């Protein structure tokens, strides 16, 4: 049976004191509300990763980063490497989020380098894929997602690929309050699993965790997670509210 997971992407939010309060609240709430089925991961901004490790280490909550640079070290001012993240004890790293693709022009080849860097350094990549609204409206969404996976993931060996988590995020639903319907989410998740089956075989397709992201809330999470190919969520805004975040994690 595949692992269920809910990962919170804080994006560029919270000052230090607010982050500290968030971690304290999460650690306290999870004592009485620990999900029976789902693993919980929190992905705060870089400055708060060590604080997260310190405050959440006994809670069972996993820690992830929102980004990394594909080189281990060097003259790359302002960047943070997967090797650095691993040395902190970070377990996960989000790769290929639509905001990185659009705002920072990260292309398929560069994202492939990041995926490789995380795996080499013992970090699990949460690889994001998804289509823009015009691509959805034109009916090109399958082709767009297939290209993203083919060029940034499917070069991996089967063993490497087995460590990857995929997050389908329809870009038109991120931060808009408009989520994909449960039927739309299942359709794409099933398609992604079929692509994995084609490239890596039945066992890898059955075992790969595929998350849904895009205006997932405590209100709609259960309907989304009931789909057979939806294994959880990559949560944005709702992850900034500890009670809502844990309610989503308990929606399986």
For the chain (252 residues), the mean pLDDT of every run of 10, in chain order, is: 96 98 97 90 98 96 98 98 98 98 98 98 98 94 98 98 97 82 97 98 98 94 97 97 96 96
| Residue 155 three-state SS | coil
What is the model's pLDDT at position 177?
74
Domains in the chain, number: 1
* Contact between 210 and 189 (Cβ < 8 Å): yes
Catalytic residue, candidates 97, 99, 106, 131: 97
* Contact between 216 and 241 (Cβ < 8 Å): no
CA distance 106 to 205: 27
What is the model's pLDDT at position 36?
86
What is the model's pLDDT at position 175?
75
Predicted model pTM: 0.97
Helix (H) or strand (E) holding 199: helix 182-200
Among 245, 248, 223, 251, which residue's Cα sits nearest to residue 22?
245
* Contact between 173 and 128 (Cβ < 8 Å): no
Catalytic residue, candidates 99, 106, 169, 189: 169
Please tell me what DSSP assigns to residue 150.
H
CA distance 126 to 213: 11
Known catalytic residue at 97: yes
Q: What CATH number has the domain bearing residue 57?
A: 3.20.20.70
What is the model's pLDDT at position 244?
96
Among 203, 141, 200, 139, which residue's Cα sits nearest to residue 170?
141
Known catalytic residue at 169: yes
Pairing of strands 4-9, 92-95: unpaired
What is the model's pLDDT at position 201?
98
Among 187, 158, 153, which residue's Cα sits nearest to residue 170?
187
Q: Provide the domain limits for residue 83.
A: 4-249
| Residue 135 three-state SS | helix
3-state secondary structure 18-35: HHHHHHHHHHHHHHHHCC
């Amino acid at each position: 049976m595949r692992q269920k997971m809910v990962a919170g992407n804080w994006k560029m939010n919270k000052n230090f004191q607010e982050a500290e309060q968030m971690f304290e609240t999460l650690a306290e709430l999870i004592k009485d509300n620990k999900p029976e089925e789902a693993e919980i991961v929190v992905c705060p901004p870089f400055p708060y990763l060590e604080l997260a490790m310190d405050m959440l280490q006994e809670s069972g909550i996993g820690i992830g980063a929102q980004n990394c640079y594909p080189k281990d070290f060097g003259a790359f001012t302002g960047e943070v490497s997967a090797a650095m993240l691993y040395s902190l004890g970070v377990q996960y790293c989000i790769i290929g989020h639509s905001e990185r693709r659009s705002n920072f022009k990260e292309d398929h080849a560069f994202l492939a380098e990041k995926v490789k860097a995380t795996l080499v350094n013992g970090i699990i990549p949460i690889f994001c894929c998804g289509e823009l609204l015009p691509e959805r409206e034109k009916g090109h969404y399958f082709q767009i997602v297939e290209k993203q996976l083919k060029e940034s993931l499917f070069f991996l060996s089967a063993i490497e690929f087995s460590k990857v988590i995929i997050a389908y995020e329809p870009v038109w639903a991120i931060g808009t309050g408009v989520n994909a319907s449960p039927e739309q989410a299942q359709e794409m998740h099933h398609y992604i699993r079929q692509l994995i089956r084609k490239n890596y075989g039945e066992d890898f397709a059955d075992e790969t965790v595929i998350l849904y992201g895009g205006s997932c809330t405590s209100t709609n999470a259960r309907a989304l997670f009931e789909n057979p190919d939806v294994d959880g969520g990559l949560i944005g805004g709702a992850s900034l509210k500890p009670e809502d975040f844990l309610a989503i994690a308990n929606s399986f």
